[in-house]
Structure 1
Amino acid sequence: MLFNSYEFILLFLPVTFVVFFTLGKLKCNKLATVWLVLASLFFYGWWDYHYVPLLLMSILFNYFVGKQIENRANKKAILFGGIAADLLLLGYFKYADFFISTVNDLSGSSLGLLNIVLPLGISFFTFTQIAYLVDVYRGIAKNISLLYYFEFVTIFPHLIAGPIISYKEMLPQFVRAETFAINHKNIALGLAIFAIGLTKKVMIADNLAVWANIAFNNSENLTFLAAWIGSISYSLQLYFDFSGYSEMAIGLGLLFNLSLPMNFNSPYQATSIIDFWRRWHMTLGSWVKEYMYIPLGGNRHGELCKMRNLLVSMLLIGLWHGAGWTFVLWGGEHTVYCLL
């Protein structure tokens, strides 16, 4: 179910909103949370219900691993085991065919592709939960209950397209009494931000997609002018699509009195590549910085280590955006630009 679909806007969102705040008005806060979790799972399963069990197993696994990290002495081994399992799951669904294709290209073999359908939002809920495990290990996140952990992972405004959220920042919002009471200011602000994002997605990005698709579907017969129109259309389509979804997510969060992190801040106005990555997919950049770049050593151990850490981080960002060598090269290219 997409944020710009009639089913979402006219049915799912109003019903979810009314039931949630009705239960909140009756002081049934935990029941309201249960309702929001079930609604979010329904939202996820609308695309393909076969992947709901995968999401549930991932949530239960990471919650269990988090509890073990809290209660056991060998915390680091448990942490690494949990992260490895998360990455293996993500790698299988997102990168298995990429790996097989690469082996075929390099060796001349003809291994069959698995043709795996990528589960919706798997990168987001995987990275969200890896951050949770690390925060538990660091002692800055603590389990309250399985219910709130379910809400943390599944809350529908962020589930399929981000932003990547933090357990330590979201949990206080989930449990406070004010979350379950209608806030007219938040509703007005949330609807306004959602409407702006919806306009960017439907009226700008989707219309530009028509021109971009014409160019990419006829790449062998393009004129000079048509190639530039297609290229610029695609750049702006990508820009307004991501900007629209980021704003719709923030607006939806405010409707339920939740403050989601900003994920997009006019990246095409950036004055440098470094500034660009402070504005584009901001929560991914923050995640990579906090959970990869700094733990690897950041810029604390000399220029060579800094270059290595930056390269690893940017290659990860490249692979995040897609399973292909073009994305790997794109990440490497941005590493060079950041070092210039």
Structure 2
Amino acid sequence: MLFNSLSFLFLYLPVVFAGYVILLRWRRQWIAAWLALVSLFFYGYWDLRYLPLLLVSILFNYWCARHRRFLLFSIAANLALLAYYKYANFFVDTANQLGGHWQGWAIILPIGISFFTFTQLAYLVDCSRGKVGEYRLVHYALFVSYFPHLIAGPILHHKPMMAQFDYWPRLEMANIGIGLSIFVVGLGKKVLLADPISVLVAPVFAAGAHPQLLEAWIGTLAYTVQLYFDFSGYSDMAIGLSRLFGVRLPLNFNSPYKAVSISEFWRRWHMTLSQFLRDYLYVPLGGNRHGTWRRYRNLMLTMLLGGLWHGAGWTFVVWGGLHGCYLVAHQAWQTFARPLPGWCAWCLTLLAVMLAWVVFRAPDLGTAGDVLRGLVGGNGVSLPRGLATWASPLKALGWQFEGIRWIDVNGPALPALMLAVALALFAPNTQEIFDASTRWSPARWRGAVMAMLFLGCLFNMNRVSEFLYFQF
């Protein structure tokens, strides 16, 4: 069941919220059980075969957390489970490419396994450090399976969530108004921006496409903003849904394409994953406490493993390695060189991120190299067909147009692409618009804007598409 589906909007969500309102008035102590139950139904709706896996994972980790001597074993078991489902096929395929004769395993990746595994790993590590301890099974089950975050994050931490699950606030219209507004904004990001732009991406990253200069840049730019609005749209929808129940989820995006350094980019992009990698991988490896070279090593290892978390493939390993190199280069630049002007640092950061997205999106390294060649004109040059009228006068001046391909760039997706780029680079983000410090209050014009945006989404939901991060 997708957030951007009619069944979710007009069946599942109304029933869940109605149950919440009834229990809030009559049986407040049952709210956690109700939300845990409907969250498990939400997961089982995707594929009932993997609901037992989620239940066993919850019960196993809950039991291990109560018996502290098994914490290390439980951490290893979670990592082994994730490795089996996510990486077994990758290891077998790699071994066969190197001359092995392993039989392939037809393992289907359970949806959301990376997110609910990392959520529980953080909890187990915090338990081992004596920071948390949860002895109520219903609350722990809700913490892991809470439906707004279950499939694609954000990654939750136990302590701030339990404080909210312990006390359910009275029904407040401000929470409903802000929650619905944030949800609609996220829905608009997905339906009106990310989905229309996707038609510009797939042809460029198809195997054997050999995109020429203009095509390669359009496809790369389109994927850069498609991924952002698709994933930040999901995160906004998760935050808005949770706000309906008086629960505040952590922020996951803070205008990452406005960053002026790669370090700042990672403080703004997928913030809960960045914090997880920092607190549970980079810092335990030693962080920056043991000299410059070990800090560089720890950055590289952290980003390589962060790349592997996103997917089992060499493209993700190379993408993580690229960002590791970016971070090392940035640290070295800060140490040995003068800071770049702000506009120059911003352009360089955005270009580096876009080039890495090419590898991230490509189905294999060969296709990634093909697109990268296209970005520098290695596959030839393509120009908009509208410029063809200038070809004859320029030929008279000695210009050569042999080998140039004329393409149509006036499709309906281009206005969506230009709007998406402008919004990503220059517009205020969702939390800036709905920041509590601005004292958001109901107003007719706000309601009218949200209603029009919601109707626009409904009219464009003729083809429901999954969110990109579901595959990770």
TM-score (normalizing by structure 2): 0.68
Counterpart-to-counterpart distance in 2, 1:171 and 1:216: 43
Shift of 1:109: 2.3
Counterpart-to-counterpart distance in 2, 1:228 and 1:218: 17
Aligned to 2:234: 245
Aligned to 2:322: 333
Counterpart-to-counterpart distance in 2, 1:177 and 1:209: 40
Look up the SS of the partner of 1:222 in the other structure.
coil
Counterpart-to-counterpart distance in 2, 1:218 and 1:124: 30
Code of the aligned partner of 2:130: G
Counterpart-to-counterpart distance in 2, 1:188 and 1:125: 29
Contact 1:97 1:114 in 2 (8 A): yes
Higher relative contact order (CA 8 A, sep 6+): 2
Counterpart-to-counterpart distance in 2, 1:282 and 1:12: 29
Note the 1:159-178 alignment, pairs <5 A.
159-178=150-169
Aligned to 1:33: 32
Counterpart-to-counterpart distance in 1, 2:220 and 2:167: 47
Map Cα deviations across residues 11-54 of structure 1 (whole Å, 9 max, x no partner): 1111100111201110x123222111111111111111110000
Aligned to 2:57: 58
Aligned to 1:139: 130
Aligned to 1:84: 76
Shift of 1:246: 1.0
2:97 paired with 1:105: yes
Shift of 1:79: 2.3
Code of the aligned partner of 1:315: L
The correspondence for 1:216, drawn from 195, 199, 205, is 205
Aligned to 2:6: 6
5+ residue gaps in structure 2? 330-472
The correspondence for 1:125, drawn from 116, 120, 123, is 116
Look up the SS of the partner of 1:278 in the other structure.
helix
Aligned to 2:359: none
**Count of paired positions:** 329
Map Cα deviations across residues 304-324 of structure 1 (whole Å, 9 max, x no partner): 221222122111110111111
2:249 paired with 1:260: yes
Shift of 1:330: 1.3
**Taking every aligned residue pair, what percent have the same amino acid on both sides?**
54
2:155 paired with 1:154: no
Deviates more, 1:282-291 or 1:111-120: 111-120
Q: What root-mean-square deviation, in Å, do the aligned CA atoms of Structure 1 and Structure 2 show?
A: 1.3
Counterpart-to-counterpart distance in 1, 2:60 and 2:5: 32
Deviates more, 1:294-303 or 1:160-169: 294-303
Counterpart-to-counterpart distance in 1, 2:279 and 2:214: 43
Task: Compare CA radii of gyration and give the structure with the larger one.
Answer: 2
Map Cα deviations across residues 188-220 of structure 1 (whole Å, 9 max, x no partner): 011111111000001100111122123223643
Counterpart-to-counterpart distance in 2, 1:86 and 1:177: 31
Aligned to 2:451: none
Look up the SS of the partner of 1:217 in the other structure.
coil
Counterpart-to-counterpart distance in 2, 1:227 and 1:295: 40
Code of the aligned partner of 1:20: Y
Question: Which structure has more helix as a fraction of its residues?
Answer: 1
Report the CA distance shift for 1:172/1:110 in structure 2 as closer, same or farther (over 3 A).
same
Shift of 1:236: 1.3
Map Cα deviations across residues 270-306 of structure 1 (whole Å, 9 max, x no partner): 1111011001110001011111111121111112221
Counterpart-to-counterpart distance in 1, 2:25 and 2:109: 39
5+ residue gaps in structure 1? 70-74
Contact 2:66 2:135 in 1 (8 A): no
Report the CA distance shift for 1:306/1:115 in structure 2 as closer, same or farther (over 3 A).
same
Shift of 1:331: 1.1
Counterpart-to-counterpart distance in 2, 1:64 and 1:13: 31
